[in-house]
């Protein structure tokens, strides 16, 4: 997935483990087998995983807004036998040895699972920030595939990946259709369409299934949930609730997250009073400068001012930004400063996978007394 210039914040289950793992019985979506199993996904709306002894049945639903079709994949251990009822589905042998992914949000899952060395191709390599993967790129082990809008199909076929992880913004993707016709195993990933922070992060379990590392994926995710929930509890100890504005102008419109978006939710969970928290929606608001100034001129903090990386750059772009209290008091914090060696923004790559770190960053900004020794991972105060 390309890194877009906008403000967006973004165990094997057996019957004896159901209570501890939080897996849910969902017999209506499970193929008929001799064993009972359950959906091992708790937070992600668009993903279901049913783990059996020799295979995992993965269902991806709502891979893009308004999607009406779900997609099923059977992840099978080598030489295992699967039920006849599943043989018409997309079958992928696991653990995969060669993979192509198409979104920077997929990279951290590979790295967290210790499987980044299986990555052999990616569109627009410059967007990748991970130092480990950048070394593989420098060594010529990851091939450039063009752009997501125009994947080099011939290169993908030549690389012959075990699986190609793609995503769609609608039901019209000729590139993915061509790859399927060429015999490439294509799997859709809908992590970007999740509306909650933990829902986005839980997609690491899909990669855990692809690498036959379910227990590791579950453990990593459980730790993220624990840290996330503990930080929410910590933020509730704050004695104040500073006001927060967000976003910036783009082509004469000010874009900022709706009140129901995961970005707005994170600000609230971090103990901030997001001034547009009552707006209904999960995408981006589009407002005039005057509307924003009228409501946010006295905001205590300005979080995520577009792609700006310094106060001088901000005021040079539009002198009217200087009218905001947050600018005058230098309480402007951006995630656009921290980049990989080729310009990829770390936040776009890692933040959806690590909402616990995003939340800690925000708490440290809004309530530094609660995390006195914490160094933000994504955000930096503009100078």
Q: What is the DSSP string of 116-183?
A: GGGEEEESSGGG---HHHHHHHHTT-SEE-EETTEE-HHHHHHH--SEEEE--SSS--HHHHHHHHTT
> Under a CB-based contact definition with an 8 Å cutoff, are residues 110 and 208 in contact?
no
Tell whether 321 is covered by a domain: yes
Q: Which two tokens stand for residue 329?
A: 């008091």
SS3 percent helix, strand, coil of the chain, rounded to 5, is 35, 20, 45
HEC secondary structure over 61-101: CCCCCCCCCCEEEEEEECCCCCCHHHCCCEEEEECCCCEEE
**Residue 4: predicted pLDDT:** 39
Residue in this structure with the two tokens 């793609």, named with its chain if needed: 166
77 contacts: CB under 8 Å, gap ≥ 6: 54, 55, 93, 94, 212
Residue 342 shares a structural domain with residue 296: yes
How far does CA 119 lie from the centroid of its chain? 18
> What pLDDT, on the 0 to 100 scale, is given for residue 362?
98
Give a yes or no: residue 7 inside a domain.
no
pLDDT at position 23, please?
Answer: 55
Distance CA 134, CA 337 (A): 19
Q: What is the pLDDT of residue 59?
A: 96
Residues 105 and 50 in one domain: yes
Q: Is residue 323 domain-shared with residue 360, that is, in the same domain? A: yes
Q: Is residue 5 part of a domain?
A: no
Per-residue pLDDT of the chain (383 residues; tens, 9 = 90+): 444 333 333 323 333 333 233 454 443 444 454 445 789 999 999 999 999 999 999 999 988 888 888 999 999 999 999 999 999 999 999 999 999 999 999 999 999 999 999 999 999 999 999 999 999 999 999 999 998 878 999 999 999 999 999 987 777 778 888 999 999 999 999 999 998 999 999 999 999 999 999 999 999 999 999 999 999 999 999 999 999 999 999 999 999 999 999 999 999 999 999 999 999 998 899 999 999 999 999 999 999 999 999 999 999 999 999 999 999 999 999 999 999 999 999 999 999 999 999 999 999 999 999 999 999 999 999 99
Residues 95 and 191 grouped into a single domain: yes
Q: Which of 71, 23, 79, 92 is nearest to 51 (CA)?
A: 23
Co-location of 276 and 138 in the same domain: no
Q: Is the peptide bond before 80 cis (omega within 30 degrees of 0)?
A: no
- With respect to residue 1, please indicate whether it lies within any of the assigned structural domains: no
Q: What CATH number is attached to the domain comprising 374? A: 3.40.50.1980
At 36 the pLDDT is: 57
Position 124 scores a pLDDT of 96
Give how many domains the chain has, as a whole number.
2
Shared domain for 242 and 203, answered yes or no, is: no
| Same domain, residue pair 186 and 247 | no
Domain end residue (candidates: 205, 226, 247): 226
The dihedrals phi and psi of 129, each to the nearest 5 degrees, come to -105, -30
* Separation of alpha carbons 60 and 37, rounded Å: 18
* Residues 184, 292 within the same domain: no
Torsion of CA 19, 24, 30, 32, to 10 degrees: 40
233: exposed, middle or buried (Cβ count in 10 Å: 0-12, 13-18, 19+): exposed
Determine contact, residues 143/42, Cβ cutoff 8 Å: no
Structural domain ending residue among the three candidates 168, 200, 226: 226
C-alpha 75/C-alpha 56 separation (Å) is 5
pLDDT at 371: 97
For the chain, the farthest-separated pair of C-alpha atoms sits apart, in whole angstroms, at 69
| d(C-alpha 61, C-alpha 244), whole Å | 34
Q: Looking at residue 298, what is its pLDDT?
A: 98
100 within domain boundaries: yes
Residue 231 lies in a domain: no
Residue 219 sits in the same domain as residue 145: yes
Q: What domain range includes position 131?
A: 15-226
Nearest to 164 by CA among 174, 156, 155: 156
In degrees to the nearest 10, what's the CA dihedral of 15, 354, 193, 132?
-100
| Same domain as 289, residue 164 | no
Q: Are residues 198 and 274 in the same domain?
A: no
CA atoms of 355 and 300, how far apart (whole Å): 23
9 belongs to a structural domain:
no
Say whether both 138 and 272 belong to one domain.
no
Of 208, 226, 244, the domain-final residue: 226
User: For residue 51, is it within any domain?
Assistant: yes
Cβ neighbours for 172, distance < 8 A, ≥ 6 positions apart: none
Note the pLDDT of residue 220.
98
């Amino acid at each position: 997935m390309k890194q877009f210039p906008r403000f967006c914040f973004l165990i094997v289950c057996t019957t004896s483990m159901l209570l501890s793992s939080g897996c849910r019985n969902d017999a209506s979506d499970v193929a008929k087998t001799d064993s009972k199993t359950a959906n091992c996904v708790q937070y992600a709306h668009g993903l279901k995983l049913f783990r059996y002894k020799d295979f995992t049945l993965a269902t991806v639903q709502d891979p893009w807004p308004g999607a009406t079709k779900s997609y099923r994949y059977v992840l099978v251990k080598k030489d295992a036998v699967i039920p006849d009822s599943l043989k018409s589905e997309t079958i992928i042998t696991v653990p995969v040895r060669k993979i192509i992914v198409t979104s920077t949000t997929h990279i951290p899952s590979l790295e967290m699972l210790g499987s980044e060395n299986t990555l052999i191709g990616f569109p627009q390599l410059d967007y990748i920030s991970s130092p480990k993967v950048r070394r593989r790129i420098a060594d010529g082990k990851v091939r450039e595939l063009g752009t997501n809008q125009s994947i080099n199909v011939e290169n993908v076929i030549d690389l012959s990946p075990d699986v190609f992880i793609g995503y769609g913004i609608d039901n019209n993707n000729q590139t993915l259709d061509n790859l399927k016709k060429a015999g490439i195993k294509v799997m859709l990933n809908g992590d970007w369409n999740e509306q909650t922070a933990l829902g986005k992060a839980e997609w690491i379990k899909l990669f855990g299934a692809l690498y036959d590392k379910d227990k590791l994926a579950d453990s990593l995710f459980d730790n993220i949930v624990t840290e996330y929930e503990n930080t929410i509890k910590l933020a509730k100890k704050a004695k104040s609730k500073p006001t927060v504005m967000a976003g910036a102008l783009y082509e004469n419109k000010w874009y900022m997250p709706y009140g129901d978006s995961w970005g707005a939710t994170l600000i609230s969970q971090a103990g901030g009073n997001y001034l547009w928290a009552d707006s209904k929606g999960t995408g981006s608001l589009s407002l005039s400068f005057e509307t924003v100034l009228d409501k946010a001129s006295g905001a205590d903090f300005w979080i995520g001012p577009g792609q700006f990386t310094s106060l001088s750059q901000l005021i040079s772009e539009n002198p009217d930004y200087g009218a905001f209290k947050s600018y005058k008091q230098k309480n402007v914090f951006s995630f656009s400063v921290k980049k990989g060696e080729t310009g990829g923004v770390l936040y776009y790559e890692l933040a959806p996978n690590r909402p616990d770190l995003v939340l800690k960053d925000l708490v440290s900004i809004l309530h530094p007394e609660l995390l006195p020794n914490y160094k933000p991972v994504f955000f930096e105060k503009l100078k």
